[in-house]
Amino acid sequence: MLTSMSTRATAVLAAAFLTAAAPSGPAGAAPANAVPESAGAAQANATSVNAAAVPSDSATAQAIPKLASSVLSAPDLARINQQRPFVAAASVIRWEVERHPYAGYTNLVLEDAQVALYWKGAVPPAMAKVIANAAQKAPVKVRPADYSLQELRAAAVRVRKAQPALDSVKFKADGSGLIAGTSAKTTALTKSNAGVPVTVVQEARLQPVSRDDDWPAWKGGATFVDTNQGTACTTGFGVRNGGASYILTAAHCGQVGDRIVDPTGEFIGNVGPRNQAHDVELVPTSSVDGYVYIGTPTDNVVGLVEGWGWTFTGEYLCQSGVTSSRELGRPVCNLKVLFYYDDEQDLVEAEQTEGQTAARPGDSGGPIYSVSGSGKLIAKGTTTRVAGARLGFQDYGTAWRDFGGITPATR
Protein backbone atom coordinates (compact mmCIF):
# COMPACT_ATOMS: atom_id res chain seq x y z
CA MET A 1 0.00 0.00 0.00
CA LEU A 2 1.21 3.53 -0.77
CA THR A 3 -0.33 5.29 2.18
CA SER A 4 2.30 4.30 4.76
CA MET A 5 5.39 4.67 2.54
CA SER A 6 8.02 6.76 4.25
CA THR A 7 9.73 9.80 2.69
CA ARG A 8 13.07 8.02 2.75
CA ALA A 9 11.68 4.96 0.97
CA THR A 10 10.02 7.18 -1.64
CA ALA A 11 13.36 8.78 -2.44
CA VAL A 12 15.03 5.40 -2.77
CA LEU A 13 12.38 4.23 -5.22
CA ALA A 14 12.49 7.38 -7.32
CA ALA A 15 16.22 6.87 -7.89
CA ALA A 16 15.93 3.13 -8.36
CA PHE A 17 13.36 3.27 -11.15
CA LEU A 18 15.89 5.16 -13.26
CA THR A 19 18.81 2.83 -12.52
CA ALA A 20 19.65 -0.61 -13.89
CA ALA A 21 21.73 -3.09 -11.88
CA ALA A 22 24.22 -5.66 -13.21
CA PRO A 23 23.54 -9.42 -13.03
CA SER A 24 25.70 -11.93 -11.14
CA GLY A 25 25.55 -15.34 -9.36
CA PRO A 26 25.95 -19.16 -9.56
CA ALA A 27 23.73 -21.84 -11.12
CA GLY A 28 21.67 -24.56 -9.47
CA ALA A 29 20.76 -28.21 -10.21
CA ALA A 30 17.88 -29.84 -12.05
CA PRO A 31 15.32 -31.97 -10.18
CA ALA A 32 14.23 -35.48 -11.11
CA ASN A 33 10.48 -35.18 -10.59
CA ALA A 34 8.11 -33.44 -13.00
CA VAL A 35 5.31 -31.09 -11.98
CA PRO A 36 2.09 -31.37 -14.03
CA GLU A 37 0.93 -28.48 -16.21
CA SER A 38 -1.83 -26.97 -14.12
CA ALA A 39 -3.40 -25.16 -17.06
CA GLY A 40 -3.91 -28.48 -18.84
CA ALA A 41 -6.85 -29.57 -16.73
CA ALA A 42 -8.53 -26.16 -16.85
CA GLN A 43 -11.82 -25.43 -18.58
CA ALA A 44 -11.68 -23.32 -21.74
CA ASN A 45 -14.64 -21.01 -21.19
CA ALA A 46 -13.46 -18.51 -18.56
CA THR A 47 -14.20 -14.84 -19.20
CA SER A 48 -12.60 -13.19 -16.19
CA VAL A 49 -9.78 -13.61 -13.69
CA ASN A 50 -10.46 -14.46 -10.06
CA ALA A 51 -9.13 -11.65 -7.90
CA ALA A 52 -9.53 -9.91 -4.58
CA ALA A 53 -8.61 -6.72 -2.82
CA VAL A 54 -6.33 -8.15 -0.14
CA PRO A 55 -7.36 -7.15 3.42
CA SER A 56 -4.86 -5.72 5.91
CA ASP A 57 -4.64 -9.18 7.46
CA SER A 58 -4.34 -11.57 4.51
CA ALA A 59 -5.30 -14.50 6.75
CA THR A 60 -8.86 -13.09 6.90
CA ALA A 61 -9.39 -13.23 3.12
CA GLN A 62 -12.82 -14.70 2.40
CA ALA A 63 -14.73 -14.94 -0.90
CA ILE A 64 -12.81 -14.05 -4.06
CA PRO A 65 -14.87 -11.86 -6.44
CA LYS A 66 -14.38 -11.73 -10.20
CA LEU A 67 -11.79 -9.27 -11.43
CA ALA A 68 -13.17 -6.22 -13.24
CA SER A 69 -12.62 -6.21 -16.99
CA SER A 70 -10.59 -3.01 -16.60
CA VAL A 71 -7.70 -5.10 -15.25
CA LEU A 72 -7.52 -7.76 -17.95
CA SER A 73 -9.64 -6.73 -20.92
CA ALA A 74 -12.07 -9.08 -22.66
CA PRO A 75 -9.87 -9.28 -25.81
CA ASP A 76 -6.79 -10.08 -23.68
CA LEU A 77 -8.62 -12.90 -21.94
CA ALA A 78 -10.17 -14.14 -25.18
CA ARG A 79 -6.73 -14.69 -26.70
CA ILE A 80 -5.55 -16.59 -23.65
CA ASN A 81 -8.76 -18.63 -23.45
CA GLN A 82 -8.51 -19.60 -27.12
CA GLN A 83 -4.99 -20.93 -26.60
CA ARG A 84 -5.70 -22.90 -23.44
CA PRO A 85 -6.35 -26.31 -25.09
CA PHE A 86 -3.28 -25.81 -27.30
CA VAL A 87 -1.14 -25.08 -24.24
CA ALA A 88 -2.50 -28.23 -22.59
CA ALA A 89 -1.66 -30.37 -25.64
CA ALA A 90 1.79 -28.84 -26.06
CA SER A 91 2.51 -29.39 -22.36
CA VAL A 92 1.96 -33.14 -22.70
CA ILE A 93 4.69 -33.25 -25.36
CA ARG A 94 6.95 -30.80 -23.54
CA TRP A 95 6.98 -32.88 -20.36
CA GLU A 96 7.90 -35.97 -22.40
CA VAL A 97 10.85 -34.08 -23.92
CA GLU A 98 11.86 -32.84 -20.47
CA ARG A 99 11.89 -36.35 -19.03
CA HIS A 100 13.30 -38.16 -22.07
CA PRO A 101 15.25 -35.89 -24.47
CA TYR A 102 14.78 -36.78 -28.14
CA ALA A 103 17.44 -36.08 -30.76
CA GLY A 104 14.85 -35.11 -33.38
CA TYR A 105 12.90 -32.57 -31.29
CA THR A 106 13.08 -28.95 -32.44
CA ASN A 107 10.20 -26.82 -31.12
CA LEU A 108 6.52 -26.50 -30.26
CA VAL A 109 4.53 -23.59 -31.71
CA LEU A 110 0.98 -22.56 -30.84
CA GLU A 111 -0.80 -21.78 -34.11
CA ASP A 112 -4.31 -20.43 -34.67
CA ALA A 113 -5.98 -23.83 -35.00
CA GLN A 114 -3.43 -26.38 -33.76
CA VAL A 115 -0.10 -27.14 -32.12
CA ALA A 116 2.81 -27.47 -34.55
CA LEU A 117 5.52 -29.90 -33.45
CA TYR A 118 8.70 -29.35 -35.45
CA TRP A 119 10.76 -32.52 -35.72
CA LYS A 120 13.83 -33.57 -37.70
CA GLY A 121 13.59 -37.06 -39.17
CA ALA A 122 11.15 -39.80 -38.30
CA VAL A 123 9.10 -39.54 -35.12
CA PRO A 124 9.90 -42.55 -32.89
CA PRO A 125 7.03 -44.79 -31.72
CA ALA A 126 7.27 -43.63 -28.10
CA MET A 127 6.79 -40.01 -29.12
CA ALA A 128 4.01 -40.95 -31.55
CA LYS A 129 2.04 -42.32 -28.59
CA VAL A 130 2.61 -39.10 -26.65
CA ILE A 131 1.45 -37.04 -29.64
CA ALA A 132 -1.71 -39.14 -29.85
CA ASN A 133 -2.42 -38.47 -26.17
CA ALA A 134 -1.78 -34.76 -26.65
CA ALA A 135 -4.11 -34.67 -29.65
CA GLN A 136 -7.00 -35.59 -27.36
CA LYS A 137 -6.70 -32.07 -25.94
CA ALA A 138 -6.11 -30.17 -29.20
CA PRO A 139 -5.00 -30.91 -32.79
CA VAL A 140 -1.25 -31.56 -33.16
CA LYS A 141 0.50 -31.31 -36.54
CA VAL A 142 4.02 -32.71 -36.94
CA ARG A 143 6.04 -30.50 -39.29
CA PRO A 144 9.48 -31.34 -40.70
CA ALA A 145 12.40 -29.31 -39.36
CA ASP A 146 15.69 -28.76 -41.16
CA TYR A 147 17.60 -28.89 -37.88
CA SER A 148 16.95 -30.29 -34.42
CA LEU A 149 17.20 -28.17 -31.28
CA GLN A 150 20.45 -29.96 -30.39
CA GLU A 151 21.94 -29.01 -33.77
CA LEU A 152 20.76 -25.41 -33.47
CA ARG A 153 22.30 -25.08 -30.03
CA ALA A 154 25.63 -26.40 -31.29
CA ALA A 155 25.44 -23.99 -34.24
CA ALA A 156 24.69 -21.08 -31.91
CA VAL A 157 27.90 -21.80 -30.01
CA ARG A 158 29.83 -21.53 -33.26
CA VAL A 159 28.08 -18.28 -34.16
CA ARG A 160 28.88 -16.66 -30.83
CA LYS A 161 32.49 -17.78 -31.15
CA ALA A 162 32.72 -16.25 -34.65
CA GLN A 163 30.98 -13.01 -33.57
CA PRO A 164 31.20 -12.53 -29.79
CA ALA A 165 29.90 -8.95 -30.10
CA LEU A 166 26.43 -10.10 -31.16
CA ASP A 167 23.60 -8.95 -28.91
CA SER A 168 21.58 -12.15 -29.29
CA VAL A 169 21.33 -15.50 -31.04
CA LYS A 170 17.80 -16.91 -31.41
CA PHE A 171 16.29 -20.10 -32.76
CA LYS A 172 13.93 -19.82 -35.70
CA ALA A 173 10.66 -21.32 -34.55
CA ASP A 174 10.46 -23.75 -37.48
CA GLY A 175 14.02 -25.06 -37.01
CA SER A 176 15.26 -23.64 -40.32
CA GLY A 177 18.23 -21.81 -38.79
CA LEU A 178 19.28 -19.04 -36.42
CA ILE A 179 18.64 -15.32 -36.07
CA ALA A 180 21.56 -13.16 -34.97
CA GLY A 181 20.54 -9.84 -33.44
CA THR A 182 22.87 -6.84 -33.40
CA SER A 183 22.57 -3.11 -32.82
CA ALA A 184 25.53 -2.56 -35.15
CA LYS A 185 24.93 -1.64 -38.79
CA THR A 186 26.78 -4.58 -40.31
CA THR A 187 27.87 -7.99 -39.13
CA ALA A 188 29.55 -10.59 -41.33
CA LEU A 189 27.98 -13.98 -40.70
CA THR A 190 27.46 -16.79 -43.18
CA LYS A 191 26.30 -20.39 -43.08
CA SER A 192 29.96 -21.42 -43.15
CA ASN A 193 30.38 -19.83 -39.71
CA ALA A 194 27.66 -21.96 -38.14
CA GLY A 195 26.79 -24.91 -40.36
CA VAL A 196 23.15 -23.69 -40.50
CA PRO A 197 21.55 -20.64 -42.18
CA VAL A 198 21.96 -17.47 -40.11
CA THR A 199 19.77 -14.40 -40.61
CA VAL A 200 21.33 -11.20 -39.27
CA VAL A 201 18.85 -8.57 -38.07
CA GLN A 202 19.64 -5.06 -36.87
CA GLU A 203 17.55 -4.30 -33.81
CA ALA A 204 17.77 -2.47 -30.50
CA ARG A 205 19.50 -4.40 -27.75
CA LEU A 206 17.26 -5.53 -24.90
CA GLN A 207 18.13 -3.53 -21.77
CA PRO A 208 17.65 -4.48 -18.11
CA VAL A 209 14.49 -3.14 -16.44
CA SER A 210 14.86 -2.56 -12.95
CA ARG A 211 2.56 -2.06 -4.77
CA ASP A 212 4.50 -0.44 -2.57
CA ASP A 213 3.78 -1.79 0.96
CA ASP A 214 3.32 -5.55 1.02
CA TRP A 215 3.42 -7.64 4.20
CA PRO A 216 4.04 -11.27 5.17
CA ALA A 217 3.00 -13.63 3.72
CA TRP A 218 4.82 -11.95 0.80
CA LYS A 219 3.20 -11.84 -2.65
CA GLY A 220 4.26 -11.44 -6.27
CA GLY A 221 4.06 -8.16 -8.17
CA ALA A 222 5.10 -5.99 -5.20
CA THR A 223 7.90 -3.43 -4.90
CA PHE A 224 11.05 -4.43 -3.06
CA VAL A 225 14.18 -2.42 -2.31
CA ASP A 226 17.78 -3.64 -2.20
CA THR A 227 19.22 -1.47 0.59
CA ASN A 228 22.80 -2.35 -0.35
CA GLN A 229 22.42 -1.13 -3.93
CA GLY A 230 19.69 1.49 -3.41
CA THR A 231 17.61 -0.01 -6.24
CA ALA A 232 14.06 -1.31 -6.50
CA CYS A 233 12.50 -4.14 -8.50
CA THR A 234 9.36 -6.29 -8.50
CA THR A 235 8.73 -9.57 -6.70
CA GLY A 236 7.90 -12.34 -9.16
CA PHE A 237 6.19 -15.19 -7.32
CA GLY A 238 6.17 -16.59 -3.82
CA VAL A 239 7.68 -20.07 -4.17
CA ARG A 240 8.47 -23.03 -1.95
CA ASN A 241 10.92 -25.90 -1.90
CA GLY A 242 10.10 -28.39 0.80
CA GLY A 243 9.36 -26.38 3.92
CA ALA A 244 11.36 -23.31 2.84
CA SER A 245 9.76 -20.13 1.45
CA TYR A 246 11.31 -17.76 -1.11
CA ILE A 247 10.58 -14.83 -3.38
CA LEU A 248 11.52 -15.56 -7.01
CA THR A 249 12.78 -12.50 -8.90
CA ALA A 250 15.55 -11.30 -11.25
CA ALA A 251 19.20 -11.87 -10.31
CA HIS A 252 20.28 -8.42 -11.48
CA CYS A 253 18.12 -6.98 -8.69
CA GLY A 254 20.53 -7.99 -5.90
CA GLN A 255 23.77 -9.70 -4.94
CA VAL A 256 24.06 -12.66 -2.57
CA GLY A 257 23.53 -11.46 0.99
CA ASP A 258 21.99 -8.09 0.05
CA ARG A 259 19.30 -6.91 2.45
CA ILE A 260 15.85 -6.82 0.82
CA VAL A 261 12.99 -4.77 2.30
CA ASP A 262 9.67 -3.36 1.17
CA PRO A 263 9.46 0.43 0.56
CA THR A 264 8.55 1.07 4.21
CA GLY A 265 11.71 -0.70 5.36
CA GLU A 266 10.03 -3.91 6.52
CA PHE A 267 12.54 -6.76 6.24
CA ILE A 268 11.81 -9.44 3.61
CA GLY A 269 15.07 -11.39 3.57
CA ASN A 270 18.65 -11.52 2.30
CA VAL A 271 19.36 -12.59 -1.28
CA GLY A 272 20.16 -16.29 -1.43
CA PRO A 273 20.60 -18.76 -4.33
CA ARG A 274 21.13 -17.10 -7.71
CA ASN A 275 21.80 -17.95 -11.34
CA GLN A 276 23.62 -15.08 -13.00
CA ALA A 277 23.40 -16.43 -16.54
CA HIS A 278 19.64 -17.02 -16.34
CA ASP A 279 18.97 -13.84 -14.33
CA VAL A 280 16.91 -15.53 -11.61
CA GLU A 281 17.38 -15.51 -7.86
CA LEU A 282 15.63 -16.51 -4.66
CA VAL A 283 15.17 -14.41 -1.54
CA PRO A 284 14.63 -16.69 1.48
CA THR A 285 11.84 -15.22 3.60
CA SER A 286 9.50 -15.99 6.49
CA SER A 287 6.39 -16.88 4.48
CA VAL A 288 4.86 -16.46 1.02
CA ASP A 289 1.35 -16.49 -0.37
CA GLY A 290 -0.26 -17.50 -3.66
CA TYR A 291 -1.30 -13.96 -4.58
CA VAL A 292 0.09 -11.67 -7.30
CA TYR A 293 -0.71 -7.95 -7.47
CA ILE A 294 -2.25 -7.21 -10.89
CA GLY A 295 -4.09 -3.91 -10.41
CA THR A 296 -2.90 -0.40 -9.65
CA PRO A 297 -0.42 0.39 -6.85
CA THR A 298 -3.28 1.65 -4.67
CA ASP A 299 -6.16 -0.79 -5.17
CA ASN A 300 -4.31 -3.93 -3.92
CA VAL A 301 -6.17 -6.10 -6.45
CA VAL A 302 -4.55 -9.53 -6.68
CA GLY A 303 -4.79 -12.62 -8.83
CA LEU A 304 -4.64 -16.10 -7.34
CA VAL A 305 -1.85 -18.43 -8.47
CA GLU A 306 -2.92 -21.92 -9.54
CA GLY A 307 0.49 -23.36 -10.51
CA TRP A 308 3.15 -23.05 -13.21
CA GLY A 309 3.51 -24.14 -16.82
CA TRP A 310 5.92 -24.33 -19.74
CA THR A 311 6.10 -21.41 -22.15
CA PHE A 312 5.54 -21.93 -25.89
CA THR A 313 6.29 -20.00 -29.07
CA GLY A 314 3.11 -18.21 -30.12
CA GLU A 315 1.67 -18.07 -26.59
CA TYR A 316 0.07 -14.85 -25.28
CA LEU A 317 1.10 -13.74 -21.79
CA CYS A 318 0.81 -10.79 -19.37
CA GLN A 319 3.28 -9.07 -17.02
CA SER A 320 2.52 -7.12 -13.84
CA GLY A 321 5.62 -5.09 -12.96
CA VAL A 322 5.18 -2.28 -10.43
CA THR A 323 6.20 0.57 -12.74
CA SER A 324 3.92 -0.50 -15.57
CA SER A 325 1.04 -0.92 -13.11
CA ARG A 326 1.70 2.59 -11.83
CA GLU A 327 1.69 4.06 -15.33
CA LEU A 328 -1.10 2.00 -16.91
CA GLY A 329 -3.24 0.94 -13.96
CA ARG A 330 -3.31 -2.60 -15.34
CA PRO A 331 -1.03 -5.41 -16.53
CA VAL A 332 0.75 -5.36 -19.89
CA CYS A 333 -0.87 -8.13 -21.95
CA ASN A 334 -0.78 -9.38 -25.56
CA LEU A 335 2.87 -10.34 -25.05
CA LYS A 336 3.30 -12.92 -27.81
CA VAL A 337 6.24 -15.32 -27.42
CA LEU A 338 8.45 -15.20 -30.54
CA PHE A 339 11.89 -16.66 -29.86
CA TYR A 340 14.05 -18.66 -27.52
CA TYR A 341 17.59 -17.34 -27.14
CA ASP A 342 20.77 -19.35 -27.09
CA ASP A 343 23.06 -16.89 -25.36
CA GLU A 344 24.42 -16.46 -21.85
CA GLN A 345 21.02 -15.65 -20.35
CA ASP A 346 19.01 -18.19 -22.37
CA LEU A 347 16.00 -15.86 -22.32
CA VAL A 348 12.62 -15.98 -24.02
CA GLU A 349 11.61 -13.04 -26.24
CA ALA A 350 8.05 -11.81 -26.55
CA GLU A 351 6.56 -8.79 -28.28
CA GLN A 352 3.59 -6.61 -27.33
CA THR A 353 1.50 -7.09 -30.46
CA GLU A 354 0.02 -3.56 -30.47
CA GLY A 355 3.42 -1.87 -30.26
CA GLN A 356 3.02 -0.79 -26.64
CA THR A 357 5.99 -0.60 -24.27
CA ALA A 358 6.41 -4.13 -22.94
CA ALA A 359 8.06 -3.22 -19.59
CA ARG A 360 9.58 -0.30 -17.74
CA PRO A 361 12.46 0.31 -15.30
CA GLY A 362 11.38 -1.17 -11.97
CA ASP A 363 9.44 -4.06 -13.58
CA SER A 364 12.51 -6.32 -13.34
CA GLY A 365 11.83 -9.64 -11.66
CA GLY A 366 8.08 -9.14 -11.92
CA PRO A 367 5.58 -11.89 -12.74
CA ILE A 368 4.92 -13.16 -16.26
CA TYR A 369 1.76 -15.25 -16.37
CA SER A 370 -1.16 -16.74 -18.25
CA VAL A 371 -4.70 -17.39 -17.03
CA SER A 372 -6.24 -20.80 -16.35
CA GLY A 373 -9.80 -21.88 -17.03
CA SER A 374 -10.62 -21.32 -13.35
CA GLY A 375 -9.60 -17.68 -13.73
CA LYS A 376 -6.42 -18.12 -11.70
CA LEU A 377 -2.87 -17.28 -12.79
CA ILE A 378 -0.34 -19.71 -14.25
CA ALA A 379 3.26 -18.69 -13.46
CA LYS A 380 5.27 -18.46 -16.70
CA GLY A 381 8.40 -16.49 -15.79
CA THR A 382 10.00 -13.26 -14.58
CA THR A 383 10.91 -10.04 -16.41
CA THR A 384 14.54 -9.34 -17.32
CA ARG A 385 15.00 -6.97 -20.30
CA VAL A 386 13.07 -4.68 -22.66
CA ALA A 387 13.48 -2.76 -25.91
CA GLY A 388 10.28 -0.90 -26.74
CA ALA A 389 7.59 -3.49 -27.48
CA ARG A 390 10.07 -6.38 -27.17
CA LEU A 391 10.41 -8.16 -23.82
CA GLY A 392 13.11 -10.55 -22.62
CA PHE A 393 12.12 -12.81 -19.73
CA GLN A 394 13.19 -16.02 -18.08
CA ASP A 395 10.64 -18.83 -18.21
CA TYR A 396 9.55 -20.49 -14.98
CA GLY A 397 10.66 -23.93 -16.16
CA THR A 398 14.28 -22.76 -16.23
CA ALA A 399 14.03 -21.44 -12.65
CA TRP A 400 12.39 -24.75 -11.67
CA ARG A 401 15.47 -26.59 -12.92
CA ASP A 402 17.99 -24.10 -11.53
CA PHE A 403 16.62 -24.21 -7.99
CA GLY A 404 15.80 -27.89 -7.60
CA GLY A 405 12.07 -28.00 -8.23
CA ILE A 406 10.64 -24.81 -6.72
CA THR A 407 6.85 -24.64 -6.91
CA PRO A 408 4.74 -21.49 -6.62
CA ALA A 409 2.62 -20.86 -3.56
CA THR A 410 -0.96 -21.38 -4.68
CA ARG A 411 -4.48 -20.34 -3.73
Same domain as 73, residue 95: no
d(CA 142, CA 242): 38
What is the per-residue pLDDT for 188?
60
Same domain as 99, residue 16: no
In a domain, 187, yes or no: no
Same domain as 214, residue 126: no
**Contact at 8 Å (CB) between 68 and 375?**
no
In the chain, DSSP finds a helix count (H) and a strand count (E) of 7, 26
Same domain as 387, residue 354: yes
Mean pLDDT score across all residues of the chain: 81
- CATH code: domain of residue 260: 2.40.10.120
**Contact at 8 Å (CB) between 67 and 303?**
yes
Same domain as 342, residue 211: yes
Percent of the chain having pLDDT more than 90?
Answer: 60
pLDDT tens-digit map of 310-345:
999 999 999 999 999 989 988 999 999 999 998 777
pLDDT interval class at 391 (50, 70, 90): very high
In a domain, 404, yes or no: yes
d(CA 207, CA 387): 6
**Contact at 8 Å (CB) between 408 and 239?**
yes
Please state which of the ranges 2-16, 218-232, 370-384 shows the lowest mean pLDDT.
2-16
Residue 103 has pLDDT above 50, yes or no: yes
d(CA 140, CA 124): 16
Residue length of the chain:
411
Same domain as 277, residue 135: no
In a domain, 181, yes or no: no
| Other beta carbons less than 10 A from residue 11's beta carbon | 11
Across 85-96, average pLDDT? 97
Percent of the chain having pLDDT more than 70?
Answer: 79
In a domain, 25, yes or no: no
Same domain as 229, residue 280: yes
Same domain as 367, residue 308: yes
d(CA 81, CA 228): 42
Same domain as 295, residue 379: yes
Same domain as 365, residue 280: yes
Same domain as 380, residue 290: yes
> What is the domain range of residue 100?
83-144
| Other beta carbons less than 10 A from residue 19's beta carbon | 14
φ, ψ (nearest 5 deg) of residue 410: -125, 165
φ, ψ (nearest 5 deg) of residue 362: 105, -15
pLDDT tens-digit map of 332-389:
999 999 999 987 778 999 999 999 999 998 999 999 999 998 889 999 999 999 999 9
Q: Which residue has the higher pLDDT, 220 or 18?
A: 220
In a domain, 154, yes or no: no
Q: Which residue has the higher pLDDT, 230 or 185?
A: 230
Residue 260 has pLDDT above 90, yes or no: yes
| Structural domains counted in the chain | 2
In a domain, 364, yes or no: yes
> Residue 151 in 3-state DSSP?
helix
Q: Is beta strand 407-408 parallel, antiparallel or unpaired with respect to 218-220?
A: unpaired
Same domain as 313, residue 390: yes
Alpha-carbon Rg for the chain, nearest whole angstrom, is 20
| Cis upstream peptide for 15 (omega within 30°) | no
What is the per-residue pLDDT for 189?
59
What is the per-residue pLDDT for 191?
58
